[in-house]
Amino acid sequence: MTPPNTPPVSWIRQIRWDSKGLVPVIAQELGSNDVLMFAWMNREALQKTAELGQAVYFSRSRNKLWFKGEESGHVQKVHEIRMDCDNDVILLKITQLGHEPGIACHTGRHSCFFSVYENGEWKVTDRVLKDPQTIYK
């Protein structure tokens, strides 16, 4: 029997997972529509995200689940989980919690997409909101 508030797993089977059992995930801020970060999920991470209403990713470098904010406190509350037309990319509509304005990037910035290509070089356009040395213990 499925526990209460646990969605059936059949919806997960509709996703086109890559050869490593992962799917790319974009976290987009509800309201501003800012793209805050890109990460990966495996089936377990996506299932937990749906169950908890909080973003859970799969860390390829650590080869384990990564509960967003587990070290930094910068949790992502998930409002919607969307899938693209090819069933191979997930979009999370989230609220970034833990700091005002929300910090999604490990560099202490609001978004991981803080560099803009201009005239043959990358320019950093977004300021650091909090020193990463004080975020991670």
pTM, two decimal places: 0.86
Looking only at the bridges linking them, the beta strands covering 90-96 and 115-118 are unpaired
The Cα–Cα gap between 24 and 9 comes to 19
pLDDT tens-place string over residues 80-137: 999 999 999 999 999 999 877 789 999 999 999 999 999 999 999 999 999 888 887 6
Q: Which stretches of 60-111 are assigned E, i.e. beta strand?
A: 64-67, 76-83, 90-96
| Domain 10-104 bears CATH identifier 3.40.50.300 | no
- What are the angstrom distances between the C-alpha of 91 and each of 4, 57, 64, 115, 134? 25, 12, 21, 21, 29
| Residue ranges covered by each domain of the chain | 10-104
pLDDT tens-place string over residues 40-83: 999 999 999 999 999 999 999 999 999 998 888 899 999 999 99
The Cα–Cα gap between 126 and 61 comes to 26
pLDDT for 1 equals 42
